[in-house]
Structure 1
């Protein structure tokens, strides 16, 4: 079988590795069909998120077909179409017991695509607790967005808008930015999405929920969406991880700034304003207890049309093109913001041909 292996910054290769099998009683082996490229994957390849263990198979947003099951597995069977929850947790540590499974202290060695072999591969090995059967009416491509939506829902749980009329802004029209727009719309908010790439902006416009709209700048969003050039910023979601220092002085009293990116950057803010203006600065990462199943429900029920966010499906054998579409140029060792009309890019694991 093939697997996309990480060996260090800018050093990844598609390699032949031993085929995986269900050796344990609760094991489930999945023939991977689709796996999405995540911002974490981009950071691992570019060296800006140097957490991955050299030699690991990267990738974690996957769906596929059950190929083998251990004798104790009862919830799935060979041939079932499944989505994989790639974030196992021990359930015993203090973080897990206090509903913070995203910070499980025992996750080293279990985190798919980081410290455990992930799903940019022909097969993935997991256990029965972390696979879920996909209903027949839902595509494998749509279900592949369950994990990123789960991460979004973790952040949405932490946001407490001061009013249902809160002026809400999302910076970045990538997959997480658009998923935040959909998830926040289910809470009654109508976000303005801000995207500086003209190509990504055009892609986003027709893929937002009713009431949300994308703009090329904060200036345009304030005037066009909220009809006030000085419209206050009540809720801000920054998917770029670089805007805190710029946006912090603009937050309305009682406002919230959330950062969800994983780029290292240091900021200086006025601490007096934090209390005096009742501001909140928070971060969010990964899935919380129950958020994966919640995301799965929102996709399978059609409340969030995940497949509309898929911009490219590319064969795994053409992995450099997939990364390049997102600004990660492996050949030239260059990482830049995506400029093409890209959103969620899926690798078609089994395909050998070219795709769009």
Structure 2
């Protein structure tokens, strides 16, 4: 193994992205060195570059949806071996906050996010905590395994944990990109009916029907409310997911809820939506729930679902770019060129 590797580096002061040679990191106690096979390009990566998310480090390697093989074990690591196929968790608990001290590391109050607080996986190698790894079943391609670390597990957490979607509940999804597409698939998997896709692009709406939505409507349709009412027996939605995060999508989704319905806000932006008059909000007993991330056990659950053929992610990989061409991948996602679900980097 050479002493250096190629890695993308984001420089916060100039907001520039470069690929350069950096030292290969050495795994410390309880850590492993992972040779990266694939890593996704996520909208949150773009949010760091464009300044929507404040930088947490002056220079950082981006990328937080990674799969690969273990290249080296750090001191004290057991249960893993070099060559094991793994998915890297996209965050680390601080281990010092009140929740962590109580053993509730899944709800760490100061979670450190990979590619923001510490170096990520747009690189040939990355460091991971051994207890945060997930083993990849032999029949699951590493391309699909990579996106389980956020693009699929965050939707899983939104559907199962935050939204608590039940069998027979009606679900609407605003924005059928990388996150929204998987929300629709997972809502169907847990028994939601109907699953309604809402977007502005005809090709995205057509794709959503192919991937599991029962209905697909244009958000600009002045009769959207009537159409949702018609396919839900006049009730409206039990659960709405805003995977875009704009003021318009948030407020439109909230307006389509039935009495006691839940809006789960997953998408992020700097815009500031409102809930309208508090009198009506109280009378209709609606709930607005913010969602971020997942628990590590969710990745294992999803890997099993993919392995057994219950969850089909074969169409979720929209393209693969080389590490040296990372700027092209970023630009493609930013422009929504080809309406990608997920673009991957292959170091």
User: TM-score range, shorter-chain basis?
Assistant: 0.7 to 0.9
CA RMSD of aligned residues (A): 2.6
Q: Within 5 A, what are the aligned runs for 1:1-356?
A: 1-8=5-12, 10-22=15-27, 24-91=28-95, 93-96=97-100, 101=105, 104-107=108-111, 110-148=112-150, 149-156=152-159, 157-161=161-165, 164-190=167-193, 191-206=195-210, 208-209=211-212, 212-217=214-219, 219=223, 223=227, 226-227=230-231, 232-242=236-246, 243-268=249-274, 269-288=276-295, 290-327=297-334, 338=336, 340-349=338-347
Question: What is the TM-score when the length of structure 2 is the normalising length?
Answer: 0.86
The separation in 2 between residues aligned to 1:226 and 1:297, in whole angstroms, is: 36
Number of aligned pairs? 334
Write the distance in 1 (CA, Å) between the matches of 2:157 and 2:120.
22
Residues 229 and 49 (structure 1), Cα distance of their counterparts in 2 relative to 1, 3 Å cut: farther
TM-fit CA distance, 1:244 = 2.4
Structure 1 residues 316 and 225: CA distance shift in structure 2, 3 A: farther
Matched residues in 1 for 2:263 and 2:142: separation? 34
> Hey, what's the Cα distance between the residues in 2 that align with 1:279 and 1:10?
40
* 1:172–1:195 Cα contact (<8 Å) kept: yes
Deviation at 1:278, TM superposition (A): 1.1
For 2:176 and 2:237, locate their aligned partners in 1 and report how far apart those are by CA, in whole Å. Answer: 18
Q: Is the 8 A contact 2:181 2:208 kept in 1?
A: yes
Alignment deviations for residues 252-310 of structure 1 (CA, whole Å, 9 cap, x no partner): 21111111112121123221122211101111001236333333333333322223211
Range with bigger deviation, 338-347 or 223-232: 223-232
CA shift in 2, pair 1:250/1:131, >3 Å: closer
Residue of structure 2 in register with 1:352 after alignment? none
Gaps of 5+ in 1: 329-337, 350-356
Q: Distance in 2 between matches of 1:199 and 1:339?
A: 12
CA contact (8 A) 1:222 1:228 kept: no
Q: What displacement does 1:200 show?
A: 3.2
Q: CA deviation at 1:220?
A: 6.0
Is the 1:151–1:285 contact (alpha carbons within 8 Å) kept by the matching residues of 2?
yes
2:303, 2:123 → 1: CA distance? 22
Structure 2: distance between partners of 1:225 and 1:101: 41
Aligned with 1:244: secondary structure? Answer: helix
Compare 179-188 and 55-64 and name the one that shifted more. 179-188
**Normalized against structure 1, the TM-score is what?**
0.84
